[in-house]
Amino acid sequence: MNWRMPSETHPHERTWMAFPHEGPVLGGSEESRTKTYGAWADVANAIADFEPVAMLVDPSELRLARAMLSSEIELFETAIDECWLRDHGPTFVIDEERPGQLGVVDWVFNGWGAHAWSRWEHANQNAGFVADLVRATRITSMMVNEGGGIHVDGEGTVLLTETVQLDPRRNPYADKERIEAELARTIGSTKAIWLPRGLARDYADFGTSGHVDILAAITSPGHVLVHVQTNPEHPDYEVSQQLHDVLSNATDAAGRQLQVTALPAPATLRDEEGFVDYSYVNHAVVNDGIIACGFGEPTSDARAREILEAAYPGRRAVTVEARHIFAQGGGIHCITQQQPRVDAA
């Protein structure tokens, strides 16, 4: 078999998500619970305007999910302990040698490095659960990895971060050669572009230690969007400059030097916890559309939509409020996972 992870711009069969359930993401207050349920539902309902959505729902949350989600969204009952589906759920691949064959890579998930608060007993079952639902071939991996820790162009290039896959809390015996070999086997990558680190906030206790999907996104072969913090008062000012330089000097699997487009951060620098990691790079590409993160800044949000629509010609960008998702440790891309159409060219 010759598995390959397609680009996120490849036509989708549907988007998968997981409805929030009791745990760290709901927070300790009723206000936080209400905002979390609402944020996940808003993203799902926005995507449903463009393409089908499938939602994993814990049996205890089924009634609430039915009340908050569009009737067009299909619900699948299963035990849930994490709702960041891109990270713990399936990574979809297609078989280059057998048209129409869908695969699911089932990574090992250990709660972003086995934090004291992490929960993953049920999360590690969800990739296999989805694989069975869609009748996909399950490709097991012994590598600890999360879907938000990789980004591909569909032609062999993968972006990843040294502080994620090489994290000793995830893969204590790994080196770049071993990681690249496993990615070649599972997602068909032939060229890895290693970024040195992630955004500052992402190294806090509830962070991922540098997921790439908040840093950069390949919009088409040879073209990449990169998060840029323009305010020198923010610690990510220097970080984003470094990332921009690395990407600008990188070549992809086809030998092309990357063309880099800056996607500026919103103006907000802090919340009650410190410097924010608000990033428009953490968007979800859907059929004919883009679900963009909104940060309560009309001018910055509109500028981001314009840049995203230019980067993905023919797609319409819509903004969904994302500040509460970011407060919980991620963004819109982190809670969604695209299933490619296997009959698409």
| HEC-encoded secondary structure of 242-307 | HHHHHHHCCECCCCCECEEEEEECCCCCEECCEECCCCCCCCEEECCEEEEEECCCHHHHHHHHHH
d(CA 6, CA 152): 7
Strands in the chain per DSSP E: 3-4, 12-18, 53-57, 74-77, 91-95, 102-108, 137-144, 151-152, 157-161, 191-195, 216-220, 223-228, 259-264, 270-271, 274-275, 284-286, 289-294, 316-321, 337-340
Token readout for 120 is 């993953």
Phi first, then psi, for residue 333 (nearest 5°) are -60, -35
CB–CB of 69/55 below 8 Å?
yes
Phi first, then psi, for residue 149 (nearest 5°) are -90, 0
How many alpha carbons lie under 13 Å from residue 203 in its C-beta half-sphere? 10
Q: How confident is the model at residue 335 (pLDDT cuts 50, 70, 90)?
A: very high
Which residues are tagged catalytic? Answer: 334
What is the tens place of the pLDDT at every residue in 52-94?
Answer: 999 999 999 999 999 999 999 999 999 999 999 999 999 999 9
Is the pLDDT score of 322 beyond 60?
A: yes
Supply the CATH classification number for the domain 3-340: 3.75.10.10
d(CA 170, CA 163): 10
What is the tens place of the pLDDT at every residue in 258-315?
Answer: 999 999 999 999 999 999 999 999 999 999 999 999 999 999 999 999 999 999 999 9
Report CA-CA distances (Å) from 333 to 133, 168, 336.
Answer: 22, 25, 5
Give the pTM.
0.97
